[in-house]
Amino acid sequence: MKTEPLFFAPVFKERIWGGTALASFGYDIPSERTGECWAFAAHQNGQSVVQNGMYKGLTLTELWEKHRHLFGHAEGDRFPLLTKILDANQDLSVQVHPNDEFARKRENGELGKTECWYVIDCKEDAEIVYGHHATTKEELISMIELKEWNRLLRRVKVKPGDFFHVPSGTVHAIGEGIQILETQQNSDTTYRLYDYDRKDAEGNLRELHLEKSIEVIDVPFTEHQPEIRQEQTNDLCVTTFIECPYFSVKKWEVKGTARLKQEKPFLLVSVIKGGGSITSNGHEYSLKKGDHILLPDGFGQFELSGHAECIVSSL
């Protein structure tokens, strides 16, 4: 039976720090505080839905549970990945995520959260928090208790096209004016370390999770930046950002027509710039910025045409 690309309708999340930049992807966003587009989501807090073909109307979770052949019969009690696009109209809170073991024990069987970021766009001089300067747990605790955030937090300037690996245990925050595509484990567990004493709509300070944060933060901070590789073949440039135990993430830049082969259990393709088409088995499917397409197991050879940039992830 012919497999076809599956287009997904994302889920949107309003956030205190969100804005309107996600509308530039062609989305009908719910408000001027739209912070997150959950593009490929199979979590109790958000489910993306198939928009086309024989599986139209099914959630990603239903697809995983009832049609595992589409994922090459990959193992696992839940779909392993979550892809988001984030619009940081204001600074996100400084936070950290637990690893699998900690989350399983302390967060009702939730997965841990290792993630990575591709900077789609940002304002000039935008920065992220990426790591910290404490050399011991005692020093970390002291700096947190004394609220010495400027001494503690490690800040890094970013520009469009930058990539960051953010393993569990890494202190991090996306700064104001940055749009990021995030590939992560399928988890929604976040420990908030610092939130600039910001108040929510009701005038309350947002909850912090200091005890759990201190437990899971890796000390000292070690930068885990992968070696980025680039390969140009005719009209296609493939950038490999990372291949780690949780995911691999690449960028496809096509200018013209490229022949590709889907050899993974599945591929998640997010169009972040431009547009074009995928042609497979004589069928053509058009692509545009903001589309999120799953290429299932057995999709085989296909042609990618147009002028487009796509972030592509798999196991």
Active site residues: 192
Q: Give the pLDDT confidence score for residue 202 in this predicted structure.
A: 84
Q: Give the pLDDT confidence score for residue 227 in this predicted structure.
A: 92
115 labelled ligand-binding? yes
Residues of the chain whose pLDDT is less than 50? none
65 labelled ligand-binding? no
Number of C-alpha atoms within 13 angstroms, CB side, residue 220?
6
Q: Give the pLDDT confidence score for residue 2 in this predicted structure.
A: 63
Q: Give the pLDDT confidence score for residue 203 in this predicted structure.
A: 86
Q: Give the pLDDT confidence score for residue 277 in this predicted structure.
A: 97
C-beta pairs of 19-28 under 8 Å, 24+ apart in sequence: 19/87, 19/88, 19/89, 19/90, 20/87, 20/89, 21/87, 21/89, 21/121, 21/179, 22/85, 22/87, 22/179, 25/85, 25/289, 25/290, 26/288, 26/289, 26/290, 27/290
Which pTM value belongs to this model? 0.95
Mind listing the pLDDT tens digit for each residue in 277-290? 999 989 999 999 99
Please, what are the domains in the chain? 6-216 (2.60.120.10), 229-314 (2.60.120.10)
**DSSP characters for 28-86?**
--SSTTEEEEEEE-EETTEE-EE-SGGGTT-BHHHHHHH-GGGGTT---SS--EEEEEE
97 labelled ligand-binding? yes
